[in-house]
Amino acid sequence: MTRVFIVRHAEAEGNLFRRIHGHYNSTVTENGRKQLEALQSRFEHEKIDAAYSSDLYRAHLTAKAALGHRGLSVITDPRLREVGMGIWEDKPWGEIARTYPEQSINFSRHPLEWNVPGCERYEHAAKRFTEAVFEIAARHDGQTVAIFTHGSVLRTFLATAMELPLADMTTIPHSDNTGVTLLELEGNKVRIIYKNDNSHLSPAISTLARQKWWRKSHPEDDLCLWFQPMDLSRLGDVYLDSRKEAWETIHGSLNGYSGEGFLQEARVLSHIYPSAVTAVMLEDRQVGILQTDFWEGQKQDAVWISLYYMMPEYRGQNLGVQILGQAISECRHFGRSYLRLRVSTVNMIAQRFYDRYGFYQIGVEPGVASPLLLMEKYIGF
């Protein structure tokens, strides 16, 4: 008999930014690092003889953190990866709900009917993951093994262990990030001691406690943003109004504001790279603007955020963090490792927001209306 812990990875970018990360290689969030500390404490006194992990960074990092200072090597196995999402990889859930409404519903409610170009069918994911788990258990008969993996593929295995049809895997509750399942495997028999236990997480750091989508009967109806290049020839007035409101809100006046100068810069950048100025969309409504500058930071391995704007009526709904996810995606598109921005020294709300999501100060420079803090976030691995 082999005791097997199966652990879902810590909160990763896709979980926070509401983006689809199956085989896409992302890292964990600032909150995910707090979860890793709690997971390490939970496993501190557990006897672990061997550790295996998905070869994706978010799972491998979770494995190394949980093992602490044991000195065990983590063996990576691509069979422990998440379900491959095909052309959906790194797309915002809001875009998928709009462009693939039927398949979005299938993914949430009818997994065996879900099928998009390039994806891995659930039947295949369940087979390769189950084979890997039983092979690992047989290799370590009489020992205790820890396996670090991902949420959807874990549900496929639990359906098998519970002798449920794979079509009914959606009846199994979602695992929290760093949720722990304990099994006993002997031959082809599986005994579930407990599943998806997150008792080591406080509500303050539990992903499921902080998000509501999983509580809905139709998770695909969650408020998720999508993004498209902004047509400045048609929406120049919207851009100027947004720039003006942002400036006045931050500085308390329009002193130093140069609307046409901002618009001209935006037009030049978007002419070179259309996604440099992005309309932030919620369903059919534009709710904000993201502007990035990939030229300024190219020698510093960085992309700069020039405008990070949410319209006033949509603030306070925890939507703004999804814009950060889009900025990180753009930054990785250019192969850069750092995301940078400037924030006014008087804009304390923005400073707290950026600090919460991993930005740190790297300098100060003069501004037109007030000094500007230079802030940076590392997005590499």
Q: Cα separation of 362 and 275, whole Å?
A: 26
Neighbours of 16 (CB within 10 A): 23
145-193 per-position pLDDT tens digit: 999 999 999 999 999 999 999 999 999 999 999 999 999 999 889 999 9
55-96 per-position pLDDT tens digit: 999 999 999 999 988 889 999 999 999 999 999 999 999 999
DSSP 173: P
Alpha helices in the chain (DSSP H): 13-17, 30-43, 57-67, 93-99, 101-109, 122-139, 151-161, 207-210, 232-251, 259-272, 320-333, 348-356
Q: What angle do CA 271, 277, 280 make, to 5 degrees?
A: 145
211-230 per-position pLDDT tens digit: 987 776 666 668 899 999 99
| Whether the Cβ atoms of residue 375 and residue 360 lie closer than 8 Å to each other | yes
The residue type of 28 is V
How far is Cα of residue 274 from the mean position of the Cα atoms in its chain?
24
Per-residue pLDDT of the chain (381 residues; tens, 9 = 90+): 999 999 999 999 999 999 999 999 999 999 999 999 999 999 999 999 999 999 999 999 999 999 988 889 999 999 999 999 999 999 999 999 999 999 999 999 999 999 999 999 999 999 999 999 999 999 999 999 999 999 999 999 999 999 999 999 999 999 999 999 999 999 889 999 999 999 999 999 999 999 987 776 666 668 899 999 999 999 999 999 999 998 888 877 888 888 899 999 999 999 999 999 999 999 999 999 999 999 998 899 999 999 999 999 999 899 999 999 999 999 999 999 999 999 999 899 999 999 999 999 999 999 887 889 999 999 998
Domains parsed from the chain with CATH numbers: 2-218 (3.40.50.1240), 226-378 (3.40.630.30)
How many CA within 13 A on the CB side of residue 374?
Answer: 10
**pTM, full prediction:** 0.93
pLDDT at 219: 65
